[in-house]
């Protein structure tokens, strides 16, 4: 009986652990692009979201952000740009006011980002892994 | 240049014809509310005296950015601040109004009105929230009356491991005002007090900028041509008129007897600037800038060297700092200032009063400065978008400072010190 109890406990712990891992993966941020855009690496993501690049493989692109303070934006900035919202905002405050462009457009919900990326040639956005749907063009994975 | 502006407007009209739905508009606002008070009766930097002023540092601005496509955009920025051609009025001035075309990652072409990267913080000097000093050192940030030009700017960028290296080439014109202070005037022709002369400035430059998270470096060479808007001539030198051995005067204008003073229609300056900001670990950061202003057309126009070094230490929300700065005119203009002010004709000589007054005014038209400052201050980040700053500035004036308004009848302050206390609130949104 003790053996069965131990086995059940171990199985329960394993399942809890697996759930935790799955949750972490579900929260991870992936980069999605308009159909046809090729995969990009972390350096290119950083260059696009800091305004230092505007094209991918010769195609002009438009990147969009989640709204300021949102959880997905915080996770994106931390994972992909190694920045927090304050530092990212400070960076764009300077860049905007030295005449080098405005920060990316912000969209309020994942559905808006997905729809913008689907409908706009050259569009790039990010969503949580758990929000991925079949047919989306994932061009960047953590 | 008119063709350039027409081209810019045509380009703007073209991109504005894009569907409104495809255009992404965004705007931001910024400002500083600042008060400064000194321990002197005379005014320093136009406005600061013992009575205190909010006019030296207060500025409000707004910027609208329109993105028509990844390649095309337009920017308009306007500021409300004390007018550059009046000590009493405030004025709304467009700082930016340009169309930008970015054909690829590396090239950026801008056409319209822009603030050129003359200093390390030229383009953000009105955004107090982006730096920690209560006031960028005047010894550096006063070498030209304006850094806003209408023209063309071509940028080429090269990515570095964590940032980018940019080379800017620009050419532009500006109509601005040069401020002169006349202590006594010449009644009834010239009233004492501030006097603004409209000038046309044409500038070209080449600037290299390295911008990385912990480092900002800039090196620039600028060629500037300045002429009076209404065609006035600028003296090259003043001939000496000897009345007796050891007794004479300088013919500072052609209404005074003499052989005639040579003049030119424009003067040319070459300005070389270098600046760097480097962050170290543990919140330490050091910044330094240096500018050398060369001028060889006349004996009198601006020919200076100036700069500063500042050390910062970020401690949570506080960033205390100390800065040392200096501005000096070269020997030529300084010697002329002395000749014109230190040896007046004896009043017993007929016409001496008028000649002495004319020499005094001519001296006041020479861009001279001999001063150094130390500033101790701190910024306090109230939020990520706003800062409160306080500063004590101690300035030593050597032979003379053109940044001081000498009250009528008094001797120009020299070999003296003054203290300025400043409190600023800056924000951006």
Question: Does some domain include residue B203?
Answer: yes
Please list every residue in chain A whose beta carbon sits closer than 8 Å to the beta carbon of residue B71: 54, 60
For A47, the closest of B67, B123, B159 (CB atoms) is B159
Q: Quote ipTM for the complex.
A: 0.84
Question: Does some domain include residue B34?
Answer: no
Query: Cβ contact (<8 Å) for A94 and B102?
Result: no
Burial zone of B372 (CB within 10 Å; 0-12 exposed, 13-18 middle, 19+ buried): middle
Among all residues of chain B, which has the CA nearest to that of A120? Answer: B22
Query: Cβ contact (<8 Å) for B71 and A54?
Result: yes
Question: Does some domain include residue B27?
Answer: no
Question: Does some domain include residue B49?
Answer: no
Please list every residue in chain B whose beta carbon sits closer than 8 Å to the beta carbon of residue A52: 105, 157, 159, 164
- Catalogue all structural domains in chain A, each as residue range(s) with its CATH number: 29-140 (3.40.190.10)
**What string of pLDDT tens digits covers the 429 residues of chain B?**
444 444 444 555 555 444 445 788 999 999 999 999 999 999 999 999 999 999 999 999 999 999 999 999 999 999 999 999 999 999 999 989 999 999 999 999 999 999 888 999 988 899 999 999 999 999 999 887 778 899 999 999 999 988 899 999 999 999 999 899 999 888 788 889 998 999 999 999 999 999 998 999 999 999 999 999 988 888 899 999 999 888 999 999 888 889 998 999 999 999 999 999 999 989 999 999 999 999 889 888 778 899 999 999 999 999 999 999 999 999 999 999 999 998 889 988 888 998 999 999 999 988 899 999 999 999 999 999 999 999 999 999 999 999 999 998 888 899 999 999 999 999 999
Question: Does some domain include residue B238?
Answer: yes
Question: Does some domain include residue B75?
Answer: no
The DSSP bridge partners found for residue B207 are: B168, B220
Torsion angle in degrees (nearest 10) through CA of A71, A74, A79, A84: -160
Please enumerate residues of A whose Cβ is less than 8 A from a Cβ of B.
47, 52-55, 60-62, 85-86, 89-90, 93-94, 96-103, 105, 122
Q: Which of B425, B422, B424 is nearest to B37 (CA)?
A: B422
Give me the number of domains chain B comprises. 1
Q: Which long-range contacts (CB under 8 A, 24 or more apart) does A127-131 make?
A: A127/A29, A127/A30, A127/A32, A127/A72, A128/A26, A128/A27, A128/A28, A128/A29, A128/A30, A128/A72, A128/A75, A129/A25, A129/A26, A129/A27, A129/A28, A129/A29, A129/A30, A130/A25, A130/A26, A130/A27
Which SS3 state, helix, strand or coil, does residue B122 take? helix
Instruction: Report d(CA B20, CA B40) in Å as an integer.
Output: 56
How many C-beta atoms surround the C-beta of residue B190 within 10 A? 15
**CATH number of the domain to which B332 belongs:** 2.40.160
Question: Does some domain include residue B371?
Answer: yes
Q: Which domain holds residue B135?
A: 102-428
Distance from CA of B288 to the nearest CA of A (A): 19
Question: Does some domain include residue B82?
Answer: no
């Amino acid at each position: 009986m003790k053996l069965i109890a131990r086995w059940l406990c171990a199985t329960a712990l394993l399942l809890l652990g697996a759930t935790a891992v799955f949750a972490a993966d579900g929260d991870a941020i992936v980069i999605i692009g308009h159909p046809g855009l090729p995969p990009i690496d972390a350096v290119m993501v950083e260059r696009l979201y800091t305004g230092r690049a505007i094209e991918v493989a010769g195609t002009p692109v438009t990147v969009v952000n989640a709204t300021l303070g949102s959880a997905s934006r915080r996770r994106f900035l931390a994972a992909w740009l190694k920045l927090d919202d304050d530092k990212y905002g400070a960076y764009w405050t300077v860049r905007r006011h030295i005449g080098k462009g405005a920060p990316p457009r912000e969209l309020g919900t994942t559905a808006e980002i997905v729809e913008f990326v689907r409908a706009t040639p050259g569009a790039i956005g990010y969503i949580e892994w758990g929000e991925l749907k079949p047919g989306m063009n994932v061009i960047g994975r953590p | 240049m008119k063709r350039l502006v027409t081209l810019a407007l045509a380009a703007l009209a073209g991109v504005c014809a894009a569907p409104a739905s495809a255009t992404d508009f965004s705007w931001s606002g910024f400002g500083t509310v600042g008060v400064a008070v000194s321990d002197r009766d005379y005014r320093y930097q136009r406005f600061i005296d013992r009575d205190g002023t909010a006019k030296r540092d207060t500025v409000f601005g707004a910027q609208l950015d329109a993105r028509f496509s990844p390649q095309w955009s337009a920017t308009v920025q306007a500021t409300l601040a004390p007018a550059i051609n009046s000590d009493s009025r405030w004025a709304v001035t467009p700082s930016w109004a340009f169309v930008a075309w970015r054909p690829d990652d590396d090239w950026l072409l801008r056409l319209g009105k822009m603030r050129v990267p003359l200093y390390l913080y030229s383009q953000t000097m009105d955004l107090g929230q982006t730096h920690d000093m209560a006031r960028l050192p005047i010894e550096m940030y006063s070498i030209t009356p304006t850094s806003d030009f209408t023209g063309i700017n071509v940028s080429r960028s090269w990515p570095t491991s964590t940032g980018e290296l940019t080379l800017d080439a620009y050419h532009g014109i500006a109509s601005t005002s040069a401020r002169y202070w006349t202590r006594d005037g010449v009644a009834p022709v010239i009233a004492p007090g501030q006097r603004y002369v409209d000038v046309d400035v044409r500038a070209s430059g080449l600037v290299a900028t390295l911008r990385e998270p912990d480092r900002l470096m800039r090196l620039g060479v600028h060629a500037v041509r300045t002429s009076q808007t209404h065609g006035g001539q600028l003296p090259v030198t003043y001939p000496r008129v000897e009345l007796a051995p050891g007794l004479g005067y300088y013919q500072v204008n052609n209404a005074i007897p003499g052989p005639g003073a040579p003049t030119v229609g424009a003067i040319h300056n070459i300005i070389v600037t270098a600046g760097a900001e480097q962050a170290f670990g543990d919140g330490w950061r050091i910044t330094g800038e240096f500018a050398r202003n060369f001028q060889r057309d006349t004996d009198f126009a601006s020919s200076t060297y100036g700069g500063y070094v500042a050390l910062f230490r970020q401690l949570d929300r506080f960033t205390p700092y100390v800065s040392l700065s200096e501005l000096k005119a070269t020997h030529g203009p300084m010697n002329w200032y002395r000749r014109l002010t230190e040896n007046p004709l004896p009043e017993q000589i007929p016409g001496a009063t008028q000649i002495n007054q004319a020499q005094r005014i001519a001296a006041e038209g020479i861009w001279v400065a001999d001063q150094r400052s130390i500033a101790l201050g701190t910024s306090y980040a109230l939020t990520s978008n706003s800062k409160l700053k306080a500063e004590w500035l101690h300035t030593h004036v050597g032979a003379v400072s053109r940044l001081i308004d000498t009250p009528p009848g008094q001797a120009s302050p020299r070999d003296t010190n003054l203290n300025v206390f400043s409190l600023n609130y800056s924000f951006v949104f």
